[in-house]
Amino acid sequence: MIFKFLLTVSLLLILFIPACTDQGNPLTPAAPAATEVKFSSDISPLLASKGCVGCHGSNGGLNVGTVASLLTGGNHGPAIVAGKADSSNLVLKLKGTPFGSRMPQGGPYLTAAEIKLFEDWINAGAKNN
């Protein structure tokens, strides 16, 4: 009797242990939440290091110093449209020449990854964060 019991237990172990451990991971870990792009620590430093601030400071026309002044924009209207990177002059001019020159004027132009930071920030609402 006890032998039969042990046999059953060991058979169950043989059958179930592999079944339990060999299922892969059905819950593939979610990609880490994308970190929020911030005006203060991402966008503003980029505008400074890429020379935008030098040509678009407080000397009239477009001022890239603050979110508010970007929303006001320049001769062609708002430089950014909150939630709509594709309609934002700033993004269009980083990528090409919707009017005038590609920015920063004279280059070197931003990398796709750098431009994506602007797009993500604008599409997330262009917050003053």
To ligand HEC, the closest distance from the beta carbon of 66 in angstroms equals: 14
Residue 109: CB minimum distance to ligand HEC, A = 8
Could you tell me the smallest distance in angstroms from the CB atom of residue 26 to ligand HEC? Answer: 45
First to last CA, the chain: 73
Helix (H, G, I), strand (E, B), or coil: what is residue 27?
A: coil
Q: Measured between alpha carbons, how far is 96 from 77 in angstroms, rounded to an integer?
A: 17
Cβ 46 to ligand HEC, closest distance in Å?
A: 7
CB 42 within 8 A of CB 121: yes
For ligand HEC, the closer CB: 11 or 48: 48
Q: Which residue is nearest to ligand HEC (CB)?
A: 100
Q: Which is nearer to ligand HEC, 78 or 129 (CB)?
A: 78
CB closer to ligand HEC out of 94 and 122 = 94
Calpha distance 113→90 (Å, rounded): 15
d(CA 50, CA 115): 12
Q: Which residues bind ligand HEC (CB under 6 A)?
A: 50-52, 54-56, 62, 64, 73-76, 79, 89-90, 93-94, 99-101, 103-106
Residues 95 and 107: their CA atoms lie apart, in Å, by: 11
**Looking at beta carbons only, is 37 or 73 nearer to ligand HEC?**
73
d(CA 9, CA 63): 77
